[in-house]
Structure 1
Amino acid sequence: MRLGTVKQFDPKSSFGFIEDDENHKSYFVFYTAIKEEGYRRLQVGQKVKYQLAQGKNGLQCVNVYLAN
């Protein structure tokens, strides 16, 4: 899994962006990709683990978990 930092997440529109810690590129994330219990939401600055998959408009984050 890759490691990244949440750069933006809007709970009203249910999407945001995660910046990869290794290559510093930002990738789109939709709330359905968050694999945590309860209300799925990310906070700016939070560290996450994730995978990349091809979406309609390029690579996007999938299987997103909070990094411990």
Structure 2
Amino acid sequence: MRLGKVKQFDEGSSYGFVEDDLNHKSYFVFYTAIKEEGYKRLEVGQKVKYQLAQGKNGLQCVNVYLADSKDKD
């Protein structure tokens, strides 16, 4: 899985962007990609692990977990 940090997340619109730790590119993330239990939201600056997949407008984050989560490695 890739590592990055949340650059922006708008709860009202339920989407945001994650900046990749390696290439520093930003990727779209939609709230349905968040795999944590409970209320699905991300905080700016929060570290996450994720995968990339082709979306309608390019690569986007899928299978998003908090970096300290034990759910996925």
RMSD, aligned α-carbons? 0.2
Structure 1 gaps of 5+ residues are: none
Q: What is the CA deviation profile of residues 5-60 of structure 1, one whole-angstrom value per residue up to 9, with x for unaligned ones?
A: 00000000000000000000000000000000000000000000000000000000
The percentage of counterpart residues that share the same residue type is: 87
TM-score norm. by structure 2 comes to 0.93
Number of aligned positions between the proteins: 68
Which amino acid in 2 is paired with 1:20? D
Structure 2 gaps of 5+ residues are: 69-73
- What SS is found at the alignment partner of 1:41? coil
Q: Is 1:5 the equivalent of 2:8?
A: no
- Between the aligned partners of 2:65 and 2:38, the Cα distance in structure 1 is 13
- What SS is found at the alignment partner of 1:54? strand
- Between the aligned partners of 1:59 and 1:67, the Cα distance in structure 2 is 20
